[in-house]
Amino acid sequence: MKLTSAMLADAAQVQSGKLFVLGGGFDTISVRSLPATHRSLSLAMVAEVGPDERQRDLELHISLIDEDGTPVGVEAKGMLRVGAPPNLPPGSPSIVPIVSPFHNITFTEAKGYVFVISLDDVELARVAFRVVLLPDG
């Protein structure tokens, strides 16, 4: 499996095999004070799953670390199982939208962060962003 795209979004969902994204593609969260709690943040992804990876459990793991590589204590784990649509040509990959929502993440420092996305303990991608403190005024 490989990720063909991954982004942060205010919200995202999968409906009928399609990815719906609201407020996506940003890399900065601006806050008025610290610590700051971000109520809703979603990781929206599109995966390409090869024929040899279908019909078996794929272990997906997402963890949030800061720019120093320190885990923030936010993570998601899940199993993904992809079937083969009947109209898919032999040997073709399946395109699979995936959403991982996160709620009430508290940021204690204004700095860089990254979601690390792994499959079966192999890193697939990183989605980086930063938290910035707005100036007074």
Mean pLDDT of each 10-residue bin along the chain, 137 residues long = 96 96 97 96 96 92 98 96 84 94 97 97 96 87
Residues near 7 by beta carbon (within 8 Å), at least 6 away in sequence: 21, 24, 25, 43, 44, 45, 127
* Residue 137, pLDDT score: 55
* Residue 87, pLDDT score: 85
Q: Is there a contact between 45 and 97 (Cβ–Cβ < 8 Å)?
A: yes
Global confidence as pTM: 0.93
- How many domains are contained in the chain? 1
Q: Is there a contact between 44 and 19 (Cβ–Cβ < 8 Å)?
A: yes
* Residue 83, pLDDT score: 85
* Residue 11, pLDDT score: 97
For residue 21, the enclosing domain spans 2-133
CATH number at residue 25: 2.60.40.2550
* Residue 22, pLDDT score: 97
Q: How many CB atoms lie within 10 A of CB 26?
A: 13
